[in-house]
Amino acid sequence: MLLKGVIDCPEIPLNVSRSSLQNDGYVSKISSHITKKVADKIISLHKLEKEHFDEYYDDISPFIEYGCMRDEKLYDKLKSVLQVRTTLGEFVSLSEYAEAQDKKITYISNENQQAQYIKMLKEEGRSAIIMPHIIDTHFINFLEMKEQWKFTRIDTLPQETKDDESIIEVFKNVLNIEDLKITASSLKISLPAIIVEDEQERRINDMTKMFGNAFSKQKYTLVLNTDSEIINKIESMDNCYKIDNMGVKTLQNIEKYYVDIMGKVYKAPKEERKGF
């Protein structure tokens, strides 16, 4: 997509420093005029050639986002035509999608790495928007401050968790990993557990890595799924627990019982479960 044209303006002195040229009044007027023409062209394409516009949007969206962050007037002008691609494969208006989601937006940054989470989301009958570019992280922060929208990546910690479940203590004692937080939540899927990161901590780490600075160690959270038949069966099998002299409750013969549970849940033949 090319935007061609001629700008008529007084002579601009080029034999000056860059800072002087950037502060020149004529240059500022030219910049504003070009910005207006680009915005008009984008709006026109969106209105008259929507299919053609969608074909180019993935490629030009980083430049549009950068322009919106540099010039809020451009954002205000283009807000109605800003769009995103969803996990359903369709382009939707960003502002309309935000309103439909009550200003709480779930997004993904890598379709391959987050494929399992996308599958989980589809099983719940929900969708997410795809924001794969490096600049999207900055644009998300810009939108949260500008519009008061809340963005949450698909692989972050669930909003509702429980820290008082008895099964949590069992896993803490078995795993014995100091910096691994363990919690429980109703995930409405069949997986027994998932490992996630806190949204804000991950963003800070992403920002620092982007600028080549030292960053803190990534902290993960193991979320046990209280809807999982496997987790519920482990918790209900009293004969698989042992209590030491200090009264700590842990699992004994965990491999044996885990295989037995897998067999009951998935009805796998015993000979197929030996190498699980």
Q: Based on the domain organization, do 171 and 141 belong to the same domain?
A: no
The percent of residues in the chain predicted with pLDDT above 70, rounded, is 78
pLDDT at 100: 94
Q: Based on the domain organization, do 172 and 144 belong to the same domain?
A: no
272: left (phi over 0), alpha (psi -120 to 50) or beta: alpha
Q: Which CATH number does the domain housing residue 232 bear?
A: 1.20.120
Question: Is pLDDT above 70 for 264?
Answer: no
Domain with 266, as residue range(s), is 166-273
Rounded to 10°, the helix 50-70/136-147 angle is: 80
pLDDT at 25: 78
Mean pLDDT within 216-223: 79
Q: Based on the domain organization, do 109 and 203 belong to the same domain?
A: no
Q: Based on the domain organization, do 238 and 266 belong to the same domain?
A: yes
Top-confidence residue, 100 or 265: 100
Mean pLDDT within 108-121: 88
Q: Based on the domain organization, do 132 and 50 belong to the same domain?
A: yes
Q: Based on the domain organization, do 24 and 147 belong to the same domain?
A: yes
Q: Which of 59-68, 111-120, 264-273 has the lowest mean pLDDT?
A: 264-273
Q: Which of 95, 119, 153 is the last residue of a domain?
A: 153
CA distances from 255 to 84, 174, 182, 222, 266 (A): 45, 12, 20, 19, 16
CA atoms within 13 A on the CB side of 131: 22
Determine, yes or no, domain membership for 5: no
Q: Predicted confidence band at 125 (pLDDT cuts at 50, 70, 90)?
A: confident
Overall number of domains in the chain: 2
Amino acid of residue 268:
A
Top-confidence residue, 212 or 189: 189
Q: Is 31 helix (H, G, I), strand (E, B) or coil?
A: helix
pLDDT in tens, 12-39: 666 667 777 777 777 788 888 888 989 9
Q: Based on the domain organization, do 103 and 211 belong to the same domain?
A: no
Mean pLDDT within 143-164: 88
Q: 181-185 and 193-197 as β-strands: parallel, antiparallel, unpaired?
A: unpaired
Q: Which CATH number does the domain housing residue 67 bear?
A: 3.40.50.11260
Taking the CB of residue 109, how many other CB atoms lie within 10 A of it? Answer: 18
Question: Is pLDDT above 50 for 113?
Answer: yes
> Mean pLDDT for the chain?
80
